[in-house]
Structure 1
Amino acid sequence: MLCRRTLGVHAVAAIAATGAAALTLSVPPGEAAASVRLSAPQRPAVLTAGNGDVLSSEPGVFYLDPLKAIKVNASVHRIMYRTTDRTGKGIAVTGTVLNPATSPYGQRPIVAFAPGTQGLADKCAPSRQLAEGTEYEAAPIKKLLDQGYAVVVTDYQGLGTPGVHTYMDREAQGRAVLDSVRAAQRLPALDLPDAGPVALYGYSQGGGATASAAELAPAYAPELKLKGAVVGAPPADMNKVADSMDGSAYGAFFNYALSGLSTSYGIDIGPYLNAHGKRVTNDLRDNLCTTQALAKYPFPNSRFLTVDGRPLTERLKRAPWDRIVAEQQLGKRKPAVPVLLSHSALDDVVPQRVGKNLAADWCRRGVTVRFAGNHIPGHIAATVGTIADGLPWLKDRFAGKAAPSTC
């Protein structure tokens, strides 16, 4: 069983804090009266030793609309916690823990919700957008809360913390999801079960992060009592997804991936880009969240962004990118829990064959997989299919029922 961690004066000393507040480090009653305000992006000067340790927290709020007229009835805390990046280096990331006002469960389950594509700029972090009523995945989060589950939402590496968000980095995303559960369990303010039942849920980027977390969990977080993972439209094969995406209405996501992976692997993509390409890439990285990016740069083709006029997808097939892309491949490791994989045949971002191939890879490794296909038109609209299939499937996993298989 995990031990609860409280935040003391040693944690106050570990935080570097300047400027306007984004998170408050609150010290528990009985300890030195102190409070440190954290600018965002900001990082602790020193990290604690344990992955999932809570570095700071403050009360938050969850609105369903930008007018802030509809407030969700839940206890909300914004947190900063420790995880590790692709290389195993300790880093601080932010997130949100939400606990519903009522629940039918004595031992309340925790669902780690891995967000879909938000953008790269710090203002796009889900912890900020939940508070502003602008989070486009508010509906599935609310539906999970309505089931009586506590929900923890990671911001991933680089969203709300220093550096560029390492978008599409398989290991960094999966670790951030798993450590968000540990952080939720260790947050004294909510008193969630230290060793209670846990599940994973995500769509699109979140589907990939959830799949990665499920694959990494047996070695990285074996103490978590995982019951299952809901994986929606996972970008499991970057080569196939990139070829489909470049020049499409969602071409900005391909640019996000280049920025995120180049940051993670220390590659300067500036020499690949012409002046227009640099302006677009910088704008997408620093200023625009998903809906803004799709509106401002519809159907961007990477060949118009490069110095040599060749699409950036060609570079993915040459060193060092061929190795980098191969390292993001999902399906090479075995989750130890059942998986529901939901994917529309009419997905216009991640082709359904990518999800089917992932399901088949897991089936060959002995995983209990239910592939739930649908014909909902469009990547964004098909999120409702994942919700419709995922909620009853999760309920059965928490009830201890045998998981169905389509293998």
Structure 2
Amino acid sequence: MVVFSTFWFGLLFFIVTTQALPSLFNSHGPAPFPSEDPFYQPPQDYECAEPGTILKQRKVPNPIVTLGKIPVRLSGAYHVMYRTSDNFRNATVAVTTILIPEKPDYNKLLSFQVAEDAASPNCGVSYAIQRDHQTEPKYGTIITRVELFLIVAALKNGWVVTTPDFEGLEGSWLANHRAGYAVLDGIRATLASNCFTGIAQDATVTMWGYSGGSLASGFAVEVQPCYAPELKIAGAALGGTVPNITSVVYSANKSIWAGLLPAGIYGWSRDYPLVETSINVMLKPERRKDFLKVANQCFAANLVDFAFDDIFAYFKDPSIFNRPEYVNIINENSMGKRIPQIPLFVYKSKEDEVSPVEDTDELVKYYCDNGANVHYNRDLKAGHLLLALSGAPSALNWLADRFEGKSVGTGCRVTEEFMGLTDPQAYSVLGLALIAELLALLRKVILGPTSLAW
């Protein structure tokens, strides 16, 4: 596990420092934050529209780039604002980014949910994957830009990708019903975009998300039968699953992952007045300024600033989140309340340090005991972050089979294996060029500083 931590925090250091390098591709000023961009302001009377209705659209104003510098080859990229619902089914809006590959198969649509894991509206994927996006909040949107490699792998298969800002304009992270609704309404809007994207209105649809992205995808899977029953979804891949928020609260607090907690609490305050009141009233005065940094920061900055902190100690009553009203909020936003009606591929590390594997074991058992169709693949060694990449080939292969209409069989099955980037499956699915880029990153990390092992 120490080796994995050294690799990933070395990778984080490498990516952060490379942002200071001059870019051959920068030719004009930085793009405005979503909070300052008029496109992100909803039109009047949007509340009257049906969920999934397109409210406005534009071509993405800047090229889509990996690691902030290298253009992704596309035949088109669009921002679409659409009507969706918040945690309580009140009308709100979200934006999805539709990416059309160079050689598209307009009959195949993947909804990819990025693990934004932050409560600032300026951390959304629609902004973070553009060239010339501002590198603030501090450390930028590093994780989103790394996950773009997975989107690129999907694009290389000819799949059209839609990737929603499922936290909405408010940055409502961990308001997971909102996230699920936004995913489904993003699919509805994308299928309705035929007149300017060319996507087939009856395209085969799949979903994919890892970690925080698996929460959004997972809630979409659970609410789909009642919220969007007309959508015919061929399957969903859920990696690094985080089904039980309570477990994460206690595993993350006082660890390198402690920054997840203030971001999640602040994200809830966007949808829950009770949590907003707690932030205003219950934070210790001397801790308030530090806590509220999450309103303007993204995932990596929060990890750095809150590493190993006791987040409960920021509050006058450290046990505040054990109160029944807060336990209810946590439970509302945890998975395992409804049975998916579509096939699932769930992949999870037995060594996951963020969310115990036992929580996913329990979730899968609940699904399977109630008739769901699940292939549950447990990795034997990778940590939470490493599996995001090493598990991608298995997920991509499974999704490809769904697009091809191959049978998933019936019932559930559990498998265990080592998943890695160096096995033949990874080369065949991700492609040599993409593997080479990832291995080049690894080489630079190994040759770089190791003081970030923490």
TM-score (norm 2): 0.76
Q: Give the letter aligned to residue 156 of structure 1.
A: F
Matched residues in 2 for 1:74 and 1:273: separation? 49
Deviations 1:86-119 (A, max 9, x none): 111111111201111114x4x5211111111342
The Cα of 1:332 is off from its aligned counterpart by 2.0
Alignment of 1:266-277 (within 5 A): 266-267=273-274, 268-269=277-278, 270-277=280-287
- The range that moved more, 74-83 or 315-324, is 315-324
The Cα of 1:41 is off from its aligned counterpart by 5.1
**SS of structure 1 residue aligned to 2:216:** helix
| Residues 1:281 and 2:291 are matched in the alignment | yes
Matched residues in 1 for 2:93 and 2:217: separation? 19
CA contact (8 A) 2:100 2:160 kept: yes
Matched residues in 2 for 1:124 and 1:88: separation? 24
1:183 is matched with 189
**SS of structure 2 residue aligned to 1:137:** helix
| Residues 1:348 and 2:377 are matched in the alignment | no
The Cα of 1:155 is off from its aligned counterpart by 0.7
1:193 is matched with 200
2:166 is matched with 156
2:80 is matched with 79
Counterpart among 386, 392, 396 of residue 391 in structure 2 = 386
Counterpart among 320, 329, 342 of residue 315 in structure 1 = 320
2:146 is matched with 136
Matched residues in 2 for 1:340 and 1:318: separation? 35
Matched residues in 2 for 1:146 and 1:376: separation? 28
2:444 is matched with none
- Relative to structure 1, the CA distance from residue 373 to residue 259 in structure 2 (aligned partners, 3 Å threshold; closer, same or farther) is same
Deviations 1:47-98 (A, max 9, x none): 15221111111112310122x2333324110121110111111111112011
CA contact (8 A) 2:113 2:163 kept: yes
- Relative to structure 1, the CA distance from residue 332 to residue 244 in structure 2 (aligned partners, 3 Å threshold; closer, same or farther) is same
Q: Give the letter aligned to residue 378 of structure 1.
A: G
**SS of structure 1 residue aligned to 2:355:** coil
- The range that moved more, 381-390 or 145-154, is 381-390
Matched residues in 2 for 1:140 and 1:281: separation? 32
Counterpart among 226, 243, 257 of residue 236 in structure 1 = 243
**SS of structure 2 residue aligned to 1:380:** helix
Matched residues in 2 for 1:375 and 1:117: separation? 26
Counterpart among 365, 372, 383 of residue 370 in structure 2 = 365
Matched residues in 1 for 2:381 and 2:102: separation? 33
Counterpart among 260, 264, 267 of residue 260 in structure 1 = 267
Matched residues in 1 for 2:177 and 2:386: separation? 28
1:53 is matched with 53
Unaligned runs of 5+ in 1: 1-19, 24-36
- Relative to structure 1, the CA distance from residue 344 to residue 74 in structure 2 (aligned partners, 3 Å threshold; closer, same or farther) is farther
Unaligned runs of 5+ in 2: 1-30, 134-141, 415-454
Q: Give the fraction of aligned pairs with identical amino acids, expressed as a percent.
A: 24
Deviations 1:186-235 (A, max 9, x none): 12210211122101110111101111101111111112120001011222
| Residues 1:44 and 2:53 are matched in the alignment | no
1:220 is matched with 227
The structure with the largest helix share of the pair is: 2
CA contact (8 A) 2:109 2:159 kept: yes
- Relative to structure 1, the CA distance from residue 38 to residue 297 in structure 2 (aligned partners, 3 Å threshold; closer, same or farther) is closer
Matched residues in 1 for 2:246 and 2:358: separation? 13
Matched residues in 1 for 2:215 and 2:368: separation? 17
- The range that moved more, 376-385 or 191-200, is 376-385
Runs of 4+ aligned structure 1 residues displaced above 4 Å come to 20-23
1:65 is matched with 67
Matched residues in 1 for 2:83 and 2:33: separation? 17
What RMSD in Å do the two structures reach over aligned CA positions? 2.1
CA contact (8 A) 1:171 1:212 kept: yes
The Cα of 1:376 is off from its aligned counterpart by 4.2
1:14 is matched with none
